[in-house]
Amino acid sequence: MSRVGKQIIQIPEGVTVSLADGVFTAKSSKGELSRPFKNNIDIMINGNEITLKPNDDSNFSYALWGTYASHIKNMIAGLVEPYKKQLALEGVGYRMNIDGKTIVMNLGFSHEVRVEVPAGLEVVIEKNNMTITGIDKEKVGQFAASIRALKKPEPYKGKGIRYVGEYIRRKQGKKSA
């Protein structure tokens, strides 16, 4: 039995949800999110509550039960309060700027690294800190991870792109005789 799937999901003020042909849609003034769901789970919308229940007793249905509940909770939470990820860039000569919908970064390579900002996301750069915001939790997290993967923080000097609040375990380096 799924502890997450058994919980009743409350729909806050200003958010409307609908389910049609296996596609769950949530709307608010901040935007609209939709996601297709398989018919292994019954999604019931009653007033301002959503309940989920598996159709059969298969392991696959029980596995999807909590997953679908989490997806729906994340969609509703993103429409109420947008998700935010913050990245920090450390290193001498490392810089990042935003040029329209393109992020231009100097990461110690022989060339500039240019990355397009996906639709639905907003990027703000202040000094060497980047803030990524959006209503879709998966998009925000995936974009932040792809930016971090361009120059992961190294353990000797800590240079690279890291999440704000992320602890980088440092190594000592070579000893001189």
pLDDT in tens, 32-59: 999 999 998 999 999 899 999 999 888 9
pLDDT band at 1 (very low <50, low <70, confident <90, very high): low
Joined tokens for residue 111: 């060339």
Residue 146 has pLDDT above 70, yes or no: yes
Query: pTM to 2 decimals?
Result: 0.90
| HEC profile of 98-130 | EECCEEEEECCCCCCEEEECCCCEEEEEECCEE
Q: Are 85 and 125 in contact (CB under 8 A)?
A: no
Phi, psi of 59 (to 5 degrees): -60, -35
Which residue segments constitute the domains of the chain, with CATH numbers given? 3-80 (3.90.930.12), 83-163 (3.90.930.12)
